[in-house]
Amino acid sequence: MLLLPAARPDDPGHASLAAATGMETDVTETNNPAEDGAAHPDHSDGRTAPELASEELKPGTLLLDGQYEILRFLNSGGFGITYLARDSLDRLAVIKECFPNAICHRVETMVKTRSRKHAAEFETTLQTFVDEARSLSRLAHPSVVGVHQVFEDNGTAYTVMDFIDGPDLHHIIDATEGAFSPAETVVILLHLLRAVEFIHQAGILHRDISPDNILIDPAGKPVLIDFGAASEPMIPGSRILTERLVIKDGYSPQELYLIGAEQTPASDLYALAATFYHVISGAAPPPSQRRLAALAVGAPDPCTPLSRRFGGYPPGFLEAIDAAMRVLQRDRLQSATEWIALVQRGLTR
Ligand SMILES: Nc1ncnc2c1ncn2[C@@H]1O[C@H](COP(=O)(O)OP(=O)(O)O)[C@@H](O)[C@H]1O
Ligand SMILES: [Mg+2]
């Protein structure tokens, strides 16, 4: 995946989809696990962009006066680098470094802006990163990754999170066909629905729910990670914490492709439903843009619903996923609470 500011028309990753949809769109399309079935986004192994390889902190680097030691690089997105680290009590932790690589580079361990004209933008990015970490640290839920600390070092900022010792859902479903039984799928979805209900009630949208941002811990419990694109648009009067948009074909709802389009809890529900569409059917749904384009000209929806295609699920379970995945926001399930009630009704029938 790639993280980009919402409006960067000069960015090479930008392409207009106006032609495809007849709508004014501005899209950052990057990783496409949905269509090519590739194991992971280009940057997930952090090696496809040559300039990234030398930018990461080396194993053994100490942070915050030796309180943390970098053990190894995990991943690099456009705005941050993720590391596995050890704290002073010998516990593993995950540390995310604020590193907007379009405007900064590394000099030894220090992060510096590429030129003086980027200084103000870097300051804003840093402030946003710290504000986000503070807001995430208030979210305590068993299926939401715990954020424990944010600190400044090396001219940038770092967030410290729980280390979840397990694979991500993308790896699991990619490696194993039918990785989860219907009963397991129901349990995993319910955990995630409760996590999503919890963050929505706290006024936060995740905006990047996808199989690679869900880790499965050793007990089989799913944990939602990567709140790098999260925002707080639901609190009246609050500013949007970040302008970053993350678009993942197959998982992102169509409104995420539109600059300025309102995102609501139903946007996260679409992405969660698309994630489970992949878990259950073995393939991600077609990109929502293609579905929208079909709808606009009255053509059949290129996404085949799950309902009646798979056995072993409680009554209404597959229908609820289909309902959360409707193209237009207003046609979808509107809250995680409503979705949970539908699943539970099916379980008691
Ligand atoms: N808390 C965590 N525990 C274990 N691994 C993690 C954790 N957070 C991130 N990772 C690993 O690092 C990768 C990148 O982290 P993520 O937060 O998704 O950043 P991004 O996708 O923006 O690069 C994840 O896909 C996962 O493999
Ligand atoms: Mg991620």
Q: Which ligand is nearest to the CA of 46?
A: 1
**Per-chain residues with Cβ under 5 A from ion ligand 2:** 213, 226
Q: Which of 28, 82, 212, 214 to mutate to test the pocket of ligand 1 (most atoms within 8 A of CB)?
A: 82
Q: Give the contacts of 187 (CB within 8 A, at least 6 positions apart).
A: 220
- Average pLDDT for residues 141-161, to the nearest whole number? 97
In the predicted model, is pLDDT for residue 327 greater than 90?
Answer: yes
Tell me the CA distances in angstroms from 241 to 73, 102, 103, 264, 266, one per residue in order: 26, 19, 19, 15, 19
pTM above 0.85, yes or no: no
**How much is the pLDDT for 37?**
33
For ligand 1, the distance from its centroid to the CA atom of residue 306, given in whole angstroms, is 29
Highest mean pLDDT of the ranges 11-25, 38-52, 132-146: 132-146
- Looking at per-residue confidence, does 331 or 12 come out higher? 331
- Which carries the bigger pLDDT value, residue 347 or residue 349? 347
Q: What percent of the chain has a predicted confidence (pLDDT) above 70?
A: 81
Measured in Å, residue 76 CA sits from the centre of ligand 1 at: 9
Query: What does the pLDDT read at residue 174?
Result: 94
Is the pLDDT at 1 greater than 80? The verdict is no
The residue nearest atom 13 of ligand 1, judged by CA position, is 75
Q: Give the pLDDT confidence of 12-45 residue by residue, as tens digits.
A: 332 222 333 333 333 333 333 333 333 333 344 4
Q: What tokens were used for 13? A: 């990753």
Q: Which token pair is 318?
A: 């597959």
Q: Which atom of ligand 1 is nearest to the CA of 163?
A: 3
The sheet with strand 147-153 has its strands ordered as 62-63, 68-76, 80-87, 92-98, 156-162, 147-153
What is the mean pLDDT of the segment spanning 311-329?
97
Which of 225, 227, 246 has most ligand 1 atoms within 8 Å of CB, for mutation? 225
CA of 213 from ligand 1 middle (Å) equals 7
Average pLDDT, the chain: 84
Average pLDDT over residues 253-279: 94
E strand spans, the chain: 4-5, 14-15, 27-28, 62-63, 68-76, 80-87, 92-98, 104-107, 110-113, 147-153, 156-162, 214-216, 222-224, 244-245
The residue whose CA is least distant from atom 1 of ligand 1 is: 163
Residue whose CA is at the smallest distance from ligand 1 atom 17 = 226
Which structure tokens are listed for 92? 């593993």
Q: How far is the CA of 233 from the centre of ligand 1 (A)?
A: 24
Residue 135 confidence (pLDDT): 86
Distance 331 CA to ligand 1 centre (A): 32
Tokens describing residue 176? 């194993």
Atom of ligand 1 nearest to the CA of 226: 17
- Give distance in angstroms: CA of 145 to centre of ligand 1: 10
* 228 has pLDDT over 90: no
How many CB atoms are closer than 10 A to CB 264? 20
Q: Is the pLDDT of residue 341 over 80?
A: yes
CA 65 to centroid of ligand 2, rounded, Å: 28
CB-count burial class (<10 Å; 0-12, 13-18, 19+) for 61: middle
Whose atoms come closest to the Cα of 81: which ligand? 1
Domains and CATH numbers, the chain: 49-161 (3.30.200.20), 169-347 (1.10.510.10)
Comparing C-alpha atoms, which of 138, 154, 156 is closest to residue 146?
138
Work out the number of other CB atoms within 10 angstroms of the CB of residue 50. 7
pLDDT at 161 over 80: yes
pLDDT tens, 90-131? 999 999 999 999 999 999 999 999 999 999 999 999 998 998
- Ligand 1 centroid vs 138 CA: distance in angstroms? 19
Characterise 159 by phi-psi region: left (phi > 0), alpha (psi -120 to 50), beta (else): beta
Residues near ligand 1 (Cβ within 6 A)? 1, 74-75, 77, 80, 82, 94, 145, 161-164, 168, 212-213, 215, 225-226, 228
Q: How do residues 234-255 score in pLDDT, each as one tens digit?
A: 444 333 434 567 789 999 999 9
- Ligand 1: atom nearest CA of 96 is 17
Instruction: Name the residue type at position 168.
Output: D
Using pLDDT thresholds of 50, 70 and 90, give the confidence band for residue 303. Answer: very high
